[in-house]
Amino acid sequence: MDRSSLLQLIQEQQLDPENTGFIGADSFAGLVHSHELPLDPAKLDMLVALAQSNEQGQVCYQELVDLISSKRSSSFKRAIANGQRALPRDGPLDEPGLGVYKRFVRYVAYEILPCEVDRRWYFYRHRSCPPPVFMASVTLAQIIVFLCYGARLNKWVLQTYHPEYMKSPLVYHPGHRARAWRFLTYMFMHVGLEQLGFNALLQLMIGVPLEMVHGLLRISLLYLAGVLAGSLTVSITDMRAPVVGGSGGVYALCSAHLANVVMNWAGMRCPYKLLRMVLALVCMSSEVGRAVWLRFSPPLPASGPQPSFMAHLAGAVVGVSMGLTILRSYEERLQDQCGWWVVLLAYGTFLLFAVFWNVFAYDLLGAHIPPPP
């Protein structure tokens, strides 16, 4: 029986004869058992938890619809927290005989989500379709672009020192600010194999699990917001420098995830979390240090300034602000949260300021930018 048929049956049985908008949880559970409806037992337990947060032992009709539709609101978490009954005690880790993919889903649940209720909910309702295509597609495109330019320039390390590299239509260069697509497409170009390898590894290890849990729309928004903030920040703070690499988006994802782990330290069940946190911070700091070194102390003669490191820092700021808001809102509507609108307002203000800066400030300040290649 599909969702629409089940809801029609609820109406026919007149579980809400007075049209109060509430349905008794016991009445609904009896309906499920008497008609042998194929409803997930985990959802029945969630329904009971919702009902126990109500003095009359009832559940709102809309909450019931959301539950059957695999949607939840913030009231779900409050019900679980206030109710006397929680979900079954045996968590996903205790279930034997899981296949390879289901074990990976279980691993993702404990890596990303800080709450046992959320982890169990994700584990039970996860479907393999649609797959996490965004991060995989971006990583694949970056590798293909790098291989094409590496073969064309016959250079695989420090490609930015090749005189032909900056002529790419994908690179952000201050002399080509009018070509607006470059503020995003620079993420497909990389300094060399070392930067590509670092970014690709983090995108697959952190980005793919985040996309599996939070969905393509939210994670792509966070990644692209970090990329755009990176190039715009460079155009304001390091006006003579170009930008290459997807570090703005990568640092947005990593910073959001690390901040979420720190703020939910007691609830996170990922193994060796302290050691992994330290290693992640050391690796990210080392990458920023390498970018600073290449910017101010280039090891090879160059025809112009080398790519800026400010995109890394801008991505981290986006991750801690916008990204943390997204990751803390698992299965909740962002538009219903005041914090989300505050973050969007701040980001929109930054975008507006950056646009005016790029249009007027370069001429007003008399900035001496290198000639575009």
Give the predicted TM-score (pTM) of the model: 0.78
Q: Which domains does the chain have, with CATH numbers?
A: 21-63 (no CATH), 133-365 (1.20.1540.10)
**Structure tokens belonging to residue 158:** 């420090």
pLDDT band at 5 (very low <50, low <70, confident <90, very high): low
142/332: higher pLDDT:
142
pLDDT band at 335 (very low <50, low <70, confident <90, very high): confident
What is each CA distance from 8 to 14, 23, 69, in whole angstroms? 10, 14, 14
For residue 88, the model assigns a pLDDT of 47
pLDDT value at 180 more than 60: yes
Concatenating the DSSP letter of every residue in 184-236 gives HHGGG--SSHHHHHHHHHHIIIIIHHHHHHH-HHHHHHHHHHHHHHHHHHHHH
Q: Which residues are catalytic?
A: 247, 312
Mean pLDDT on 11-25: 61
Mean pLDDT on 149-173: 89
pLDDT, tens digit, 9 for 90 and up, residues 215-230: 999 999 999 999 999 9
Q: What is the mean pLDDT of the chain?
A: 82
Residues in contact with 225: Cβ distance below 8 Å, sequence separation at least 6, in sequence order: 252, 318, 322, 347
Instruction: Give the type of residue at 253.
Output: L
Going by the DSSP 8-state scheme, the letter that residue 150 receives in this structure is H
pLDDT value at 289 more than 80: yes
pLDDT value at 83 more than 50: no
Among 117-126, 149-158, 267-276, the range of highest mean pLDDT: 149-158
pLDDT value at 29 more than 50: yes
Mean pLDDT on 297-315: 85
Cα(137)–Cα(37) distance, rounded to whole angstroms?
A: 40
Count of alpha carbons within 13 angstroms of residue 95, beta-carbon side: 14
Count of alpha carbons within 13 angstroms of residue 338, beta-carbon side: 0
